[in-house]
Amino acid sequence: MNKNTPRTFILDGAEYTVLKHIITRNFWEFYILSEADEYGQCLAYVLGAENELGNIHLPEIMPHVISVTEDFTDVLPPSGTVWKDEVGEAA
């Protein structure tokens, strides 16, 4: 896998391609699934108080970010999901 290649996870039978992984200082994780629009909105899967799929406003979270990466080498898939390219691999 190329370091900056987006990865796809499977959640409830649906596939979502992750473009970026963000961690905020309260250790919420944001799996960014789309490019931000002109207003800073994008689709994300968020691991926080609840695990949720929805739109977020990037400018709102950016002051709280401690990590941003497009290198998924060491990024685990969201809790309760699997990376598509690892399905069927021996544990």
- Report the alpha-carbon distance of residue 25 to residue 81 in Å, rounded: 23
H/E segment holding residue 42: strand 41-47
pLDDT at position 3 is 65
Residue-wise pLDDT for 63-81, tens only, equals 999 999 999 989 999 999 9
Structural domain count, the chain: 1
Quote the pTM value. Answer: 0.91
Please say whether the beta carbons of 19 and 13 come within 8 A. no
Residue 66's domain comprises 7-72
Residue-wise pLDDT for 1-54, tens only, equals 566 789 999 999 999 999 999 999 999 999 999 999 999 999 999 999 999 999
